[in-house]
Structure 1
Amino acid sequence: MIIVTGAAGFIGSNIVAGLNARGIDDILIVDDLSDGSKCLNLADLNFVDYMEYDDFIDALASGAELGPIEAIFHEGACSATTEWDGRYVMARNFTYSKTLHTWAVARAVPLIYASSASVYGMGPQFVEQRVAEKPLNMYAFSKFAFDQYVRAHPATNSQVVGLRYFNVYGPREAHKGGMASVARHFSRQVSESGVCRLFEGTEGYSDGGQLRDFIHVDDVVAVNLWLYDHPSVSGIFNCGTGHAQSFNEVADAVIAWHGQGEKRYIDFPEHLAGRYQSYTQADMGALRQAGYTDVFMNVAEGVPRYLDWLAARQLT
């Protein structure tokens, strides 16, 4: 059996879909369904069991045996970058992950977990080295802290991998609301008003010219499954495309898909000053050196693929 935590979330549900595409449905899904709308991410997927997030970790903390486990994909976390209750975030993201790590390593069960590019703060370096890590909020700090723990407690008998996700977009993110990708927001804006709203220029960048490493969730799943196929690979790796693209390029891809629309630039919010990543670009050298060779989609390829998926399900 394979365990996926955060299975009803964005990346977790796509990992379940990726496993299903391989004919794998012996999956224990774990999540907190306080927000019941997330169940829609799993309604078309196959699995054999479900556990609530808190019940699952309580079982592991008590030393429970869950039968033969092939691997754990740990995607569950408090992902709100606006959450400043540090005790809550650390309990959810750090302590929870430590308990899971201890259980998995003791049983030599491969653990592939979600870290975050947010650990790099404002950059300008985005390489898996301590000198580049400068978290700016509690979410980023909790991810940084667990990465530090993993580095300090290397597993000698099993795979442990952390993936620092950059700006992920794609199917099954509707439940994220305001935290959904800009591709989703731009598409909805064009559908409703014909206008994509982008931030005006900041910190030397032109209007809409801020740069991010946008990665389609299908590429994220491909990396996760490649690691599942290569249990000898351990470490902390960036998971982006290695190529920064502008918000203008995302908007242009959305407008091209709709065949209509225009861009409009709005004032940059004062509350984001000094806390906004105007530039991210994953250094993909470590993952490439580990053996990953697949080519990543750029936004001109990935955005229409995502919007096709939404259209096929009559979603916006």
Structure 2
Amino acid sequence: MIIVTGAAGFIGSNIVAGLNARGMRDILIVDDLANGHKCLNLADLDFSDYLEYDELERRMAADAMPDTVEAVFHEGACSDTTEWDGRYVMARNFTYSKTLHAWCQTHRVPFLYASSASVYGMGPEFVERRDAEKPLNMYAFSKFAFDQYVRAQADTADTADSQVAGLRYFNVYGPREGHKGRMASVARHFSNQITEDGECRLFAGSQGYGSGEQRRDFIHVNDVVAVNLWLLDNPQVSGIFNCGTGRSQTFNEVADAVIGWHGRGEKRYIEFPEALVGRYQSFTEADMAALNNAGYPYDFMPVEEGVPRYLDWLAVRG
């Protein structure tokens, strides 16, 4: 049995799809379905059981899980970067993760979890090194705190041989993110804007960057799944790794890919919001040396390839 938390969410549901593509069906999906719209992410997928997130925590804390668990993909979290209730965020993202981590270590079960590139704050370096980590909100701090805990536990003598790998996701886009609303990728927002208004809206020049020239490391969710499944196949690999393409691209490039797919539309630049001055990541680019040095063998899609592939999927699946 494989456990996937956050299974009805964006990355979690794509991991379930990736496991299904391998013929794997014995999957325990775990989520909080207070937002029932997320069930649509699972409607075409195969799994063997479902638990609410708090029930999994209770069972793991009581050591009441079956001995057939082969791996845990821990993707569930409070991902709202505007949530400032620190107790709530830490309970969801830190304490919960510690419970799952402890059970996996005790039973020597691979524990593959979602960290976040948000731990780097404003940068300018995006490398898995303590002096590059400067979280700026509670979500980022909770991920940073759990990474710190994992580092502290990594050399524990009786568990050092049990796989623990965290992936710091950069700007992920692709299928099954429709439930995210305003938190969905710019590729999805640009496509919706062109459909509705015939134009996509980008920020005008700011913070030393030209209009639409702010740069992010955009990674297609299929590439994220490929990294997760590679870790599943390589249980000797542990650590905290960036998960981006290693190449920043501009918002203009994303918009051009969307316009090219639609065959129509134009770009309009809007004033940079005053509230975001000094709080906006105008540049991110994953340093991928750690994952490459661990042996990861595959290339990543640029937006010129990934965005049309995503829009093809949306055209069929919505």
Output the TM-score relative to the length of structure 1.
0.99
Out of 190, 194, 218, the residue aligned to residue 190 of structure 1 is 194
Asked whether the equivalents of residues 8 and 31 of structure 1 are also in contact (C-alpha less than 8 Å), the reply is yes
Deviations 1:236-295 (A, max 9, x none): 000000000000000000000000000000111111111110000000000000000101
Match of 2:80 in 1: 80
5+ long unaligned stretches in structure 1: none
1:20-54 deviations in whole A, cap 9, x for unaligned?
A: 00000100000000000000000000000000011
Q: Distance between the aligned counterparts of 1:105 and 1:157, measured in 2?
A: 9
Per the alignment, residue 32 of structure 2 pairs with 32
Q: In 2, Cα distance between the equivalents of 1:63 and 1:183?
A: 42
Match of 1:162 in 2: 166
CA distance in 2, matches of 1:67, 1:41: 28
Q: State the partner residue of 2:292.
A: 288
Say if 2:316 is the partner of 1:308.
Answer: no
Partner residue in 2 for 1:144: 144
Tell me the SS of whatever aligns to 2:284. coil
Q: Is the 8 A contact 1:3 1:69 kept in 2?
A: yes
* Runs ≥4 residues deviating over 4 A: none
Amino acid in the other structure paired with 1:306: Y
Task: Give me the whole-angstrom Cα distance separating, in 1, the residues matched to 2:115 and 2:135.
Answer: 12
Partner SS state of residue 168, structure 2: strand
Letter of the structure 1 residue corresponding to residue 41 of structure 2: N
What is the aligned partner in structure 1 of residue 115 from structure 2? 115
Hey, what does 1:214 align to over in structure 2? 218
* Partner secondary structure for residue 112 of structure 2: strand
Q: 1:67 deviation in Å?
A: 2.7
Gaps of 5+ in 2: none
Q: TM-score, normalised by structure 2?
A: 0.98
> What's the secondary structure of 2:282's corresponding residue?
coil
1:176 aligns with 2:180: yes
For residue 197 of structure 1, report the CA deviation from its aligned partner. Answer: 0.3
Amino acid at match of 1:11: I
- State whether residues 105 and 157 of structure 1, in contact with CA within 8 Å, keep that contact through their aligned partners in structure 2: no
What is the percentage of aligned positions where both structures have the same residue? 75
Residue 71 of structure 1 deviates from its aligned partner by 0.4
Q: Indicate the residue corresponding to 2:231 in structure 1.
A: 227
How far does residue 62 in structure 1 lie from its aligned partner after superposition? 1.4
Deviations 1:216-237 (A, max 9, x none): 0000000000000000000000
| 2:3 corresponds to | 3
CA distance in 2, matches of 1:30, 1:269: 37
Contact 1:6/1:77 (8 A) holds in 2: yes
State the SS of the aligned residue for 1:196. strand
